[in-house]
Structures are given as C-alpha cells and as structure tokens.
C-alpha cells in the first residue's frame, strides 16, 4: 500500500509524461467504447483503492482528446454522458480538450 499522496504523484507523472492527450475512445466498425487502456482510465481498473484515488485526483482528468469518426450517430447516447463524467472528475482544474 502506497501512501495516497505518493500514488497521486505517480498518477500525475504518468499522465503528464504522455506527449499527447489521452485518447479516450476505441472504435470498432459499428461500435464505440471507452479506451480503458489509456491513462487515466487504466488507473481505475487496477483495484478499488487505485480507482478511488484516481477519481479524487482532479489533475489526472484535466486533459482529454476526442477523435470523432465519420459516423456520429452511435456517439449520441454515449459521448455526452462520458464527457460529463470526465468533466466532473476534473473538478476545478482547467480542462484542456482536443477534438
């Protein structure tokens, strides 16, 4: 068990070390889903403790890249709710969004 502050620091180092913004969507031929292999989403899948710490570390959620496919229809139900939860997790941090 790492202390919370140390784990938060590790999360921030990982997120800030990525040269590009996290790409949060994974596209199939006809589907769209969350790209859980990208940070910070991967932090939330390790264990409950990591998920709680990741969700409470607002700076981890302050950068986001959204690449939209040519077909926008499948995104309508999923995209707004996912972006709202990302924005809520970023707290009072400035959110940098790349579309």
pLDDT at 67 over 60: yes
Calculate mean pLDDT across residues 62-75.
65
pLDDT at 62 over 60: yes
The answer to which of 29-38, 50-59, 73-82 has the lowest mean pLDDT is 73-82
Q: Rounded distance, CA 90 to CA 83, Å?
A: 11
Q: Rounded distance, CA 60 to CA 58, Å?
A: 5
List of E strands, 5-90: 25-27, 32-34, 63-65
Q: Are 54 and 48 in contact (CB under 8 A)?
A: no
Q: Which of 72, 79, 99, 71 is nearest to 33 (CA)?
A: 79
Q: Are 60 and 52 in contact (CB under 8 A)?
A: no
Calculate mean pLDDT across residues 43-49.
92
Tokens coding 61: 């959620």
């Amino acid at each position: 068990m790492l202390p919370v502050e140390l784990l938060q620091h590790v999360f921030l180092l990982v997120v800030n070390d990525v040269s590009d913004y996290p790409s949060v969507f994974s596209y199939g031929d006809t589907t769209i889903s969350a790209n859980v292999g990208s940070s910070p989403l991967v932090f939330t899948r390790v264990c409950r403790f990591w998920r709680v710490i990741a969700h409470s570390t607002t700076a981890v959620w302050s950068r986001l890249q959204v690449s939209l496919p040519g077909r926008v229809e499948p995104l309508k139900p999923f995209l707004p709710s996912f972006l709202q939860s990302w924005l809520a997790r970023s707290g009072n941090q400035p959110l940098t969004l790349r579309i």
